[in-house]
Amino acid sequence: MSGDLDQTPRSLMVWDRSSFLDEKNRISSQVQQLHFNYKVSVMLPECSSTAPHLDSVLTSFSHFYLVRNLPIYELLDKQFLESAVYEGSVYGLSYRTRIDEDSCVALMPNGRLVLSLDKDSFQVLGFEGKPSRFCHRVNNRFVVTIDLTDSSMAPGGHGYRRLLTGLTSRLPLKTDFLLSHSGGGASLQPLLSRYDCSEHKPEISTCSLMHVPCPDLRSCNPHSFLEWLGAVDADMSCENSSSSFLSSLACPEPKTILSRALRVSVCGLLLPQDVQRLIQELRCYLEQLQVESWASLTVHGFVDSPVSWGVREHGFLRGGENLYTLLMFHDHTYHLHLATGAHDTCPP
C-alpha cells in the first residue's frame, strides 16, 4: 500500500447548533460565503415525493452558461464590467481546470477576479500576487486577486492597462468558463454572443430509499453524523456486514429504521440565493408537518475552485472538499456542519 494512503487525510470541521429564531444565527451569512456550489442534496425522511412548493423551488434554480475557450481578458471588457461586474452578483468559474495543476480563474459577485497560477504563468503575467499558502517548501503556485471595482482598475487606468496587457500579450489564458448572474442572463449577453456558449438548467435527480438505518440525530456525534449521511447519499450500506469489502461503516447507536426516505439532488453552477430560498422552503415544509421531523441539506463547493468561503484560498491535495450540511428540525433548531479537506483554511 502506498505510504500516503496509510492514514486518513487531515480534515477540518466546524460545528454549530442554534435556532433560526435566534437573531444572531449565521445561516444566511454562511450560505452567501460559499460562492461556487456544484451540488445540493436534500434528504427528507418518511417521504416518497417532494411537496409542490418545494418542487417549485428546486425547478426554479437559476440557469447558467458554459462559454467554451473564453479568453480571460474578456472579463475586463468595458461593457461587461459596466453591465455585469459593477452591478454585482455575477459568478464565473473556469471549468475542467485542476487547482493543483492548471491555471484556475474565479470571478466573484463582489467584483474580485482571482487567478491561481503556477510559478511560470505568474512570472509571465507580471502582476502582483502572493504565494499560495499551501506551498510548504517551494513557492510553485501563486494567487493573484484583483478588485475590478477599485478605481485603479477602471478601464484606461494604470492597473487596468497592466492587467489587460498581461492577459492579452504575455499570458493569453483561455479556458472553458461557467457564468451565471442572479439577475438573469441579459447582462451577460454582450459577452456570450461573441463566443461559443450554451445555456444550462441545473439537473435534478431523485431517489427513493427504503428501510434506512438512522441514528439519534440530536445526540449523534457530528463526525459520525456526516459519515452516516455521506454513506446514505452514496448508496452505501451502513450494516457493517462481515462480507462487505466496500465499507465497514455502521450506523451510530442508538438508531431507528426509517421505513422510507427521499433524496433529492441538484447539480450545476448553483447560486447562494437559490440555496437560501430552498432552506426557507424546507423550513416551511417542516413547519407544516403534524409530527416532529427533520430534513438535511448538504451543499458541495467546486473542488477545483480557487476560493472556498468568502475570499479564502482553496486547495486540493486529495479530495478538495468544501461543503456544509444543515440539519433542520421541526422546532426551528438546526445543526450546522462546515467541512473542508487538508488544503483549505478553517471554515469561518
Can you name the residues that pair with 44 across neighbouring β-strands? Answer: 262
* DSSP-assigned letter for residue 30: H
Q: In the chain, where are the structural domains located?
A: 3-61+202-340, 64-200
pTM: 0.91
Give me the tens of pLDDT residue by residue for the chain, a chain 348 residues long.
444 544 555 667 889 999 999 988 989 999 999 999 999 999 999 998 888 889 999 999 999 999 999 999 999 999 999 999 998 889 999 999 998 889 999 999 999 999 999 999 999 999 999 998 877 667 888 999 999 999 989 999 999 999 999 999 999 999 999 999 988 888 899 899 999 999 999 999 999 999 999 999 988 899 889 989 988 888 777 666 555 555 567 788 888 999 999 999 999 999 999 999 999 999 999 998 867 899 999 999 999 999 988 888 887 766 778 899 999 999 999 999 998 877 777 677
DSSP codes of every residue in 299-346 = EEEPTT-SBSBTT-BB--TTT--EEEEEEEETTSEEEEEEEE-SSBPP
* DSSP-assigned letter for residue 150: S
Q: Please say whether the dihedral angle defined by the alpha carbons of residues 45, 47, 49 and 55, taken in this order, is positive or negative.
A: negative
Cα radius of gyration (the chain):
22
Cβ within 8 Å of residue 78, ≥6 positions away: 155
Q: Dihedral angle at the C-alpha atoms of 252, 232, 96, 8, nearest 10 degrees? A: 20
Determine the 3-state secondary structure of 58 from DSSP: helix
Q: What is the largest CA-CA distance in the chain?
A: 68
Beta strands per DSSP E along 87-140: 90-94, 104-107, 112-118, 130-131
pLDDT digits (tens, 9 = 90+) for 186-218: 889 989 999 999 999 999 999 999 999 999 998
Q: Please say whether the dihedral angle defined by the alpha carbons of residues 219, 223, 228 and 233, taken in this order, is positive or negative.
A: positive
Half-sphere exposure of 177 (CA within 13 A, CB side): 26
Long-range contacts of 22-29 (CB under 8 A, 24+ apart): 25/334, 26/336, 27/279, 27/326, 27/334, 27/336, 28/276
* Helical H segments across 5-146, by residue range: 27-33, 52-59, 78-80, 119-125
